[in-house]
């Protein structure tokens, strides 16, 4: 005689839970999240939320709370653009300039110390000036022999242009660097001396306003 198998008349909660579909909880998920939270120190709710977020995102997408390495790199996102001129290497050259012989008389009678005029002309001449890689020969004009008017300073010039001048005109590097650039600098300074002398003369010739009592 066959043994009669009893019919189950009551619902089995454990078995019915495994058949739940949709967004309802699956047995074991809560325990898994709790174990992950224990290992990482992250609340179980956050661990479970991260898992659901990654499951809903399409492949290759980045979650809103995630930050890529490129966006978090301060060198790529925060660094201000640097101009090409700031990156261009420079080289300092000691220069010494004086007025011309033809300017002596005007310098002595202008009413301003000649050395001050020469230094002011030097500042004006080099402001915004850039060294050219094209060599300029030294001017043949005769300078004054009054060394007390001489102005000396250090001038930062473009290293690339200077290297071109060295390669073409002083490959053995035996000349002074001032000899390579003075043909470009001295005429500018002499021209500024002439302009300053003209300004002083024009100011002296202008009539002064007379105030009557």
d(Cα 185, Cα 153) in Å, to the nearest integer?
13
Residue whose token pair is 């454990």: 14
List pLDDT tens digits, range 84-114: 455 689 999 999 999 999 999 999 999 999 9
The end-to-end CA distance of the chain, in Å, is 148
List pLDDT tens digits, range 165-191: 999 999 998 999 999 999 999 999 999
Pairing of strands 90-97, 151-158: antiparallel
Residue 173 region by backbone torsions, left for phi larger than 0, else alpha for psi between -120 and 50, else beta: left
Percent of the chain topping pLDDT 70: 56
Q: Let me know how many helices (H) and strands (E) the chain has, helices first.
A: 10, 2
Backbone φ, ψ for residue 180 (5° rounding):
-80, -25
- pTM of the predicted structure, to 2 decimals: 0.57
List pLDDT tens digits, range 70-84: 344 444 344 444 454
pLDDT of residue 67: 40
Residue whose token pair is 């080289």: 91
Provide the mean pLDDT of the chain. 75
């Amino acid at each position: 005689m066959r043994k009669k198998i009893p019919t189950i008349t009551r619902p089995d909660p454990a078995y019915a839970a495994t058949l739940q579909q949709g967004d309802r909880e699956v047995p074991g998920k809560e325990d898994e999240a709790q174990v992950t939270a224990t290992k990482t120190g992250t609340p179980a709710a956050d661990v479970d939320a991260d898992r659901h977020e990654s499951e809903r995102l399409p492949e290759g997408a980045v979650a809103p709370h995630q930050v890529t390495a490129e966006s978090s790199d301060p060198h790529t996102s925060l660094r201000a653009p640097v101009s090409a001129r700031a990156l261009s290497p420079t080289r300092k050259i000691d220069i010494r300039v004086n007025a011309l012989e033809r300017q002596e008389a005007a310098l002595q009678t202008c009413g301003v110390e000649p050395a001050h005029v020469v230094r002011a002309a030097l500042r004006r001449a080099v402001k915004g000036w850039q060294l050219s890689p094209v060599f300029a020969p030294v001017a043949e004009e005769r300078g004054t022999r009054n060394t007390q008017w001489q102005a000396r300073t250090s001038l930062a010039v473009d290293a690339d242009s200077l290297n071109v001048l060295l390669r073409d005109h002083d490959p053995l590097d035996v000349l002074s660097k001032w000899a390579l650039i003075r043909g470009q600098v001295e005429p500018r300074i002499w021209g500024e001396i002439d302009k300053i002398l003209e300004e002083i003369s024009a100011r002296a010739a202008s009539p002064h306003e007379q105030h009557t009592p």
